[in-house]
Structure 1
Amino acid sequence: MTNIEHVQLQQVIVHKVGNPTRGEQLKLSVNPLTLNDELVKSMLTKYFLSPFNENEHYHFTHLSDVGLNEVYNYVKAIFDNSKSFTQQSALVANFLYNKSTHVKVKEGELYVAHFADVPFGNDFINAVGLFKSETKETFLKVFEHGESWEVVGEEGININKLDKGCLIFNAGQEEGYVVCVVDATNKNQDAQYWVNDFLQVTPYADSYHNTHKYMDMCRLFITNDYADKFEVTKTDQIDLLNRSADYFKTKEQFSLDEFTQEVMHHPEVVDSFVQFKKNYEVAKQFDLDNEFDIDLAAVKKQAKVFKTVLKLDKNFHIYIHGRRDLIEKGYDEASGKKFYKLFFEEES
């Protein structure tokens, strides 16, 4: 998140949350932190807010009624009455403790924070943050000892690495608020209890979400299913990645029919892609629209992970930006090695 220099950190309280299946305890603080040191307040604000992508929005959900979502209710009570902050933070910690039963869930500190003047669109509003620190690092502390200097190791938190976070803006209450989420420790593992079990949030079906998820789905399809189901070379994969990325970069609106016709071309590839989309939606537990406005911020972020580099042994990396027809692959019988021919007009 950017433009956080004027954010006011109003209250912060820390609770220790363990994993009950390992006999670890829940230890609740009686009082919030004393925030007299402006440097500490600034460091905490940076630690809490910097990792968030303010363009990627979620909202609280529930199978029957969002009003029954536990975290939603605790946060709403804080927004309604800031004097209930400590009481509601304890309820948040207790609920997280009850959801921390997966074998991979680590013990850590839960920070509950109340902010004012948080940037939100063109406005500045209140927000509540929930942050969990699970990873400890060892730091060296140098101190003066008599006429000499000594060094000791101390365990602490790296303020540049937030493990888990949730920032709830005081906006969109009826739809489950506007929420930003960070989960840096369990992106590809089963222990996604933070998002699924504890917060129970789902992405807003907006242009950013659709653009981001469609590009992610395209990348996965091309690098996995496309290569497995069809006889294609690495350059064919890179060419399809380039054409997919170019579609999102040059179009203002996405249409699934137009995209498959212009990018995929072949009917069998289109059918495979459509089936992959259905499987992707089931696995991710959300639906993707077939038509939407393309979000440039999402395109810029996703374009960074579109790998269009052809790696040849450990000797050469060829960056391919387009024109698959100017690349020719062959085999040299004399040397027993494969080769590529690259056709170009000028060298720069």
Structure 2
Amino acid sequence: MQQILILTTMVGIDNVELQQVIVHKVGNPTRGESLKLSKNKLTLNDDIVNKIFVKYLLNGFNENDLYHFTHLSDLGMNEVYNYVQQCFKSDSVFEANSALMAQFLYSKSTHVKVKEGEMYVVKFDKVPFEGDFIEAFGIFKNESKETYLRVMEHGQTFEIIGEDGINLSKIDKGCLVFNKNGAEGYYCCIIDNGNKNNDTAYWVKDFLGVEPVANEYHFTNEYLQVVKQFATQEMPEHFEVTKGQQIDLMQRGLDYFKENEEFVLDDFTEQVIQYPEMIEQFAAFKDNYAQSKNIEMENEFGIDLSAVKKQSKSFKSVLKLDKNFHIYIHGRRDLLERGYDEETGKFFYKIYFEEES
């Protein structure tokens, strides 16, 4: 059964209210950068600016990708969880607790790649979540600056000057905490742009101390990650495979998640992995993956299409041949034949088709 992919970004934020906002500046202590704490909250008198600011902070969140605060021994020992919980209970502690959060983030910002930036601490109301509009708490950090041109009138002439400002297209790092399920660590959404290679874990692990909620989105997302890594990393180590065969396996895996409502591990391996020795290697790889990330991976669950949409963007379907040709593989790997020509000393692909357009 073919399903329709859905959008994942947060919708319905037009009526979100800003209750309290404060800005601190957090540097990297290993570079001698300082922590500058604001003494006062922002004034929120301009409705147009407020709406732009809300969209800037919230537009990048995927409300299907949920996390929760955790701690190895006791949830109550998670610093950020404690500060947020107190702010939900009382507005009077907002400024003091925002300063404590900034100090805690400063202590975790020691990695060489952590940049100085503004930290926004925000109390929201009427935030959409699970069909309702509820209170939420946000912690954000902007580390990127853009140079903008500004035209200024100078007497009877005009001048153009450059000014550094915020790129409103995305926030660098964010945590939106919904005031729901507090006893279990709340429900949170996370943004961590600029950390594609996982070379800095300070925001998610060291500062926030959050982990994914074990739900259908989480299981779908992780299995697709396993499929991609198995095809690109594990298969070439243990089997003689071509790039085309790797792309073909990834495409079959992606198609399985697009075309089915339920994931069943035995059915998946039979349809996608296919070969008994490769199925055995896939099972071992999946178990090692789950153990290394300290996560659960169920063998049966409902497929979440928003996770499929997110992961499909990173699934490679292009076979690059030197710098001359690209072959886009969307299915029917059996119609693509690879060979070697003795006379030219070069490899070749033979493609079978019925029509061209």
TM-score by length of 2: 0.93
Distance in 2, matches of 1:161 and 1:279, equals 34
**Equivalent residue for 1:275, pick from 281, 284, 288:** 284
User: How is 1:28-47 mapped onto 2 (pairs within 5 angstroms)?
Assistant: 28-47=37-56
Match 1:226 to one of 222, 235, 241: 235
> Which of residues 328, 333, 340 in structure 2 aligns to 1:319?
328
Gap regions ≥5 residues in structure 2:
1-9
| Residues 119-141 of structure 1 deviation map (CA, whole Å, 9 limit, x = unaligned) | 10211111110001112222211
Deviations 1:187-212 (A, max 9, x none): 32332111001100000000001101
**CA–CA distance in 2 between the matches of 1:186 and 1:314?**
30
Matches within 5 A, 1:170-181: 170-181=179-190
Q: Name the structure 1 match of 2:337.
A: 328
State how 1:233-244 maps to structure 2 within 5 Å: 233-244=242-253
Q: Structure 1 residue aligned with 2:63, among 54, 65, 73?
A: 54
Measure the CA separation in 1 of the matches of 2:150 and 2:295: 47
Q: Give the counterpart of 2:209 among 189, 192, 200.
A: 200
Is 1:342 aligned to residue 351 of structure 2? yes
Q: Map 1:1-348 onto structure 2 (within 5 A).
A: 1-348=10-357
CA shift, 1:179, in A, is 0.2
> Displaced runs of 4+ in structure 1, greater than 6 A?
none
What one-letter code is carried by the residue in structure 2 that aligns with 1:154?
A: E
CA distance in 2, matches of 1:337, 1:189: 38
Deviates more, 1:8-17 or 1:101-110: 101-110
Q: How many residues align?
A: 348
SS for the counterpart of 1:298 is helix
SS in 2 for 1:158: coil
Secondary structure of the residue that 2:270 maps to in structure 1? Answer: helix
* 3-state secondary structure, aligned to 2:207: helix
How far off is 1:325 after superposition? 1.5
Give the superposition deviation at 1:334: 4.5
Q: For 1:149 and 1:263, locate their aligned partners in 2 and report how far apart those are by CA, in whole Å.
A: 64
Shift of 1:347: 2.5
Distance 1:270 1:290 in 2: 14
Provide, for residues 246-281 of structure 1, a one-character-per-residue CA deviation record: whole Å limited to 9, x for no partner.
211122221222222221122221222122222322
Describe the SS at the equivalent of 2:64.
Answer: coil
Distance in 1, Cα, partners of 2:73 & 2:190: 23
Residue identity opposite 1:318 in structure 2: I
How big is each residue's C-alpha offset from its partner over 1:290-309, in whole Å with a ceiling of 9 and x where there is no partner? 22111111112212221111
Equivalents in 2 of 1:282, 1:190: separation in Å?
Answer: 20
Question: Which one-letter code corresponds to 1:168 in the other structure?
Answer: V
Q: In 2, distance between residues paired with 1:284 and 1:159?
A: 33
Per-residue deviation at 1:324? 1.5
Greater CA deviation, 263-272 or 29-38? 263-272
Aligned residues: percent identity?
60
Structure with greater contact order relative to length (CA < 8 Å, sep ≥ 6): 2
- Flag the 1:3–1:73 CA change in 2: closer, same or farther, 3 A: same
Q: Could you say what secondary structure the match of 1:276 adopts?
A: helix
Counterpart secondary structure, 1:288: coil
SS of match in other structure, 1:41: helix
Q: Take 1:175 and 1:347, find their aligned partners in 2: how far apart are those partners?
A: 57
Q: Where does structure 1 lack aligned partners over 5 or more consecutive residues?
A: none
